[in-house]
Amino acid sequence: MKHEIDGLINRMHAAGISFEEAVRQFERQYIYLVLVKHRGNQCKASVELGMHRNTLGRKMSELELGMAEVRAGYKRPVRSERPVLSELRRQAR
C-alpha cells in the first residue's frame, strides 16, 4: 500500500496539485467510502471516523459531499437489471 500511495503522491505533485487540494480530495474520498459502507448512516460513519456526527456533517458541507452522491453509491439496480426471483430460487437449489 505504501508503494501505491507514494506513486499517487508523485503523480499529484507532478501534475501541480497543491497540498491543500490533495488533502481535500483524500478527505472527501475517505469520508465518501465510509459513508457508502454504512449506507449513508452518518452516526455509524462518524464513529468509525472517530469524529462527532455534527463534525462529520460540517466536514461534508465543506467538502461539498452531499447525501445524494453517497446514496448513488448503493442504489438498487433498475428492475430490468435485477435477477428474476425464479432464477434466484433455481440457483439456490
Identity of residue 39: R
Between 92 and 7, the more confident residue is: 7
- Report pLDDT for 57: 94
* Long-range pairs of 71-77 with CB within 8 A, sequence gap ≥ 24: 71/40, 73/32, 73/36, 74/36, 74/39, 74/40
Beta strands in the chain, from DSSP E residues, in sequence order: none
- Which letter does DSSP use for residue 78 in this model? P
**Is residue 50, in this structure, part of any structural domain at all?**
yes
C-alpha cell at 23: 488533502
pLDDT band at 34 (very low <50, low <70, confident <90, very high): very high
Q: Taking all residues of the chain, what is their mean pLDDT, rounded to a whole number? A: 86
* Per-residue pLDDT tens over the stretch 40-72: 999 999 999 999 999 999 999 999 998 888 887
**Is residue 92, in this structure, part of any structural domain at all?**
no
**Is residue 65, in this structure, part of any structural domain at all?**
yes
pLDDT band at 75 (very low <50, low <70, confident <90, very high): low
**Is residue 85, in this structure, part of any structural domain at all?**
no
**Is residue 80, in this structure, part of any structural domain at all?**
no
Between 72 and 73, the more confident residue is: 72
Cβ(71)–Cβ(42) below 8 Å: no
What's 49's domain CATH number? Answer: 1.10.10
Number of domains in the chain: 1
Range of the domain at 9: 2-75
